[in-house]
A = this chain, B = another copy of it.
């Protein structure tokens, strides 16, 4: 263990990781970035399904690599006597077990919470599933888009009157990974105080409902069903996306005095005196007309030209960045948020790094290569298994 590793906040925590594809692996990636040791236990027949999802570099899945950095891999057959014995050796020294099988699978393997909590009383056992371990839908399979749809998020995302759209990243999975990481750490803090393990039951659908906190509270108070608004704010104008000569910009003009600054920046100071636009309430009422005025003016300049003008006039704005713009952003670079990672034989890709930036850690967290299937078998078994098991 290097001093850099010791310094990481979760150093010394060992996680046995049975998870596949996205929600679970995203959770254990977060824990790994913070210094936990992740022992990824994979099915000997091909390992984590995401190893087979393209694109590939030197035969290695980019999808898999990006979220399985900083982990070790061992392939164990949990239906085979020897695989089970080895798995139980891992559990006996682990702090946390995380799995994202469908509810019931772990019980059938003899590794449900009720089986393990008596034998390993300090073990924290986290289950991540589509709908949770309880309720009428508990057995249903889930996909990211299914929970985005069922949890209500798609019903508030898209153009007004248009078709619902999916959020362009897998927030159904990723949010479950985030809440699971919070729950695992909470259980670790409780164990530090009381000495006992706990069981965590994370449902992707629950997590979508949690993200909907504002639409839920508003609907409850007003009875008005929240609907998609494109990019527009429901009660502030102009607070929207606007097209310019070479793409889109965002304006976030929260009050009348900022609106005056905007009109000056656009060299259209008369708009701020126009009774259709001068006050917030009027702007909200005439938001479609104002958007036409603004976009006809904005067509004359580029993203960068308008950004410079708005910056110098103190008008809150943002450029609509594509992924290529993120790679070129000085702010993203200064924060070390996109960093190189080895892949394949001698390849390299760039991946998003860790946004949990503690002063005591390197900013990028250090992004190691994702493991090959079963890559760490020998070193893990040597460390965890009693000599009696005869590992060679």
Residues of A within 8 A of B (CB): 8-13, 26, 30, 34, 54-55, 57, 62-63, 65-67, 113, 131-132, 134-137, 141, 143, 145-147, 149-159, 162-171, 174-175, 178-179, 181-183, 185-190, 192-193, 198-203, 205-207, 209-222, 225-226, 228-231, 233, 235, 239, 241, 243, 248-250, 252, 254, 316-327, 330-332, 334-335, 337-338, 349-360
Known: A55-B221, A141-B316, A321-B155. A355 touches B150 (CB 8 A): no
Q: Distance in Å from the Cβ of A321 to the closest Cβ of chain B?
A: 5
Complex Cα distance, B220 from A65, in Å, reads 12
**Residue on B with the closest CB to A249?**
B149
Please pick, from B141, B175, B318, the residue contacting A147 in the complex, using a CB distance under 8 A: B318
- Do B174 and A215 have beta carbons less than 8 Å apart? no
Complex Cα distance, B199 from A131, in Å, reads 36
- Do A168 and B228 have beta carbons less than 8 Å apart? yes
- Do A134 and B221 have beta carbons less than 8 Å apart? no
Task: Point out the residues of chain B lying under 8 angstroms from A230, CB to CB.
Answer: 163, 165-166
Please pick, from B168, B179, B335, the residue contacting A134 in the complex, using a CB distance under 8 A: B335
**Besides the known contacts A157-B167, A209-B355, 19 further A-B residue pairs in the complex with CB atoms under 8 A apart:** A9-B187, A11-B193, A34-B182, A136-B331, A137-B330, A152-B322, A153-B167, A155-B323, A159-B165, A162-B162, A163-B248, A165-B228, A166-B230, A183-B358, A186-B358, A200-B356, A202-B356, A205-B332, A215-B323
Task: Point out the residues of chain B lying under 8 angstroms from A170, CB to CB.
Answer: 214
Task: Point out the residues of chain B lying under 8 angstroms from A322, CB to CB.
Answer: 152, 155, 225-226
Shortest 6 CB-CB distances between A and B: which pairs?
A: A156-B168, A135-B334, A9-B190, A146-B318, A66-B217, A9-B186
Task: Point out the residues of chain B lying under 8 angstroms from A215, CB to CB.
Answer: 168-169, 323
Known: A221-B62, A334-B134. A155 touches B320 (CB 8 A): yes
Task: Point out the residues of chain B lying under 8 angstroms from A201, CB to CB.
Answer: 357-359
Please pick, from B8, B178, B198, B321, the residue contacting A182 in the complex, using a CB distance under 8 A: B178
**Residue on B with the closest CB to A213?**
B352
**Residue on B with the closest CB to A206?**
B355
- Do A350 and B216 have beta carbons less than 8 Å apart? yes
- Do A131 and B331 have beta carbons less than 8 Å apart? yes
- Do A326 and B209 have beta carbons less than 8 Å apart? yes
Known: A132-B335, A335-B134. A198 touches B67 (CB 8 A): no
